Amino acid sequence: MNHLDFIYKRHSVRKFKDQDVPVEDIKKIIKAATYAPSGKNVQNWHFVVVKNKEKIEGIAKTIERKNAELANLIQDEDIKKGFTKFLRFSTVFRKAPVLILVYTEDSYKPTGLNVLKEINASTDEIHELLRSNPAMQNIGAAMENLILAATNMGYGTCWMTSQNYAAKEITEFIGFEKEGYFLAAMTPLGIPDGEIKSPPRKSVEEVMTIIE
Ligand SMILES: Cc1cc2nc3c(=O)[nH]c(=O)nc-3n(C[C@H](O)[C@H](O)[C@H](O)COP(=O)(O)O)c2cc1C
């Protein structure tokens, strides 16, 4: 087995077998997520695990309702078509036995931000520093740990953010509350069903610059 196999066997999985995931396995996966690095070790994540089929379907319906609500307000036909056409990619979790919602809070700011504010730096300069968003980088690291751990344990996942326009409604629907936290991403979790393929990647040459 190649030592990087755990990377290459991960794919976004959008179809799942009707097979439960034991809580012990979910705990191992979440624990792996929490071993991700985070700036100043702030660990600004919270994982909400939904294991109830009706609730998972309810979340999908909540997204569909919000999509229709927003679509009704769109004047431009092309924008409207684009928005509704990809709705199914926001509900790919609907037949999964488990849905993990990843919440975060973003009080962890880039080092130097308070300095820029203190010296009355320009809005552009402050904006430029904020772009690297370390709080969200923490979530990316946790999410990647989570999905790689799940893959290594034989489960499929699909990192998802396209449903986030319905974040408020989803959070209300599941009744989750944690001061300052908001929905950043979610992933279904289950045994993959059928063939899984990933789209091609850019070549290493295209995405790498070596400076010697
Ligand atoms: C931040 C992020 C958001 C994503 N959102 C969605 C989504 O909402 N729905 C979906 O079906 N896939 C989503 N994906 C999966 C990507 O489409 C997928 O990772 C990409 O096409 C590469 O395929 P692979 O994951 O199989 O390698 C998302 C991935 C990332 C990293």
Q: Where are the alpha helices (DSSP H) in the chain?
A: 5-8, 23-34, 53-73, 77-85, 113-118, 123-130, 134-152, 167-174, 204-207
Containing structural domain, residue 85: 5-207
DSSP for 144-159, please give it.
HHHHHHHHHTT-EE--
Average pLDDT over residues 178-205: 97
Residue 200 pLDDT class (50, 70, 90 cuts):
very high
Residue nearest to atom 7 of ligand 1 (CA): 160
pLDDT at residue 176, as a whole number = 97
CA angle 29, 33, 36 (to 5 degrees): 150
Which domain CATH number covers 128?
Answer: 3.40.109.10
Total domain count, the chain: 1
Residue 1 pLDDT class (50, 70, 90 cuts):
low
CB 17 within 8 A of CB 191: yes
User: How far, in Å, from the CA of 24 to the mean position of ligand 1?
Assistant: 26
CB 70 within 8 A of CB 165: yes
Task: Give the DSSP H/E element, type plus range, for residue 200.
Answer: none
Cβ(86) – ligand 1 distance below 6 Å? no
Torsion of CA 87, 88, 91, 97, to 10 degrees: 180
- To test the ligand 1 pocket, which listed residue (10, 160, 183) has its Cβ within 8 A of the most ligand atoms? 160
The percent of residues above 90 in pLDDT, for the chain, comes to 98
Average pLDDT over residues 38-42: 97
Residue nearest to atom 5 of ligand 1 (CA): 160
Q: Is residue 194 part of a domain?
A: yes
pLDDT tens readout for residues 137-169: 999 999 999 999 999 999 999 999 999 999 999
pLDDT at residue 2, as a whole number = 84
Nearest-atom number in ligand 1 for the CA of 140 is 1
pLDDT tens readout for residues 81-119: 999 999 999 999 999 999 999 999 999 999 999 999 999
- To test the ligand 1 pocket, which listed residue (148, 158, 196) has its Cβ within 8 A of the most ligand atoms? 158
User: Which class for 202: exposed (0-12), middle (13-18), buried (19 or more C-beta within 10 A)?
Assistant: exposed
pLDDT at residue 206, as a whole number = 98
Q: Is residue 148 part of a domain?
A: yes
- Average per-residue pLDDT for the chain: 97
Q: Is residue 212 part of a domain?
A: no
- To test the ligand 1 pocket, which listed residue (137, 161, 186) has its Cβ within 8 A of the most ligand atoms? 161
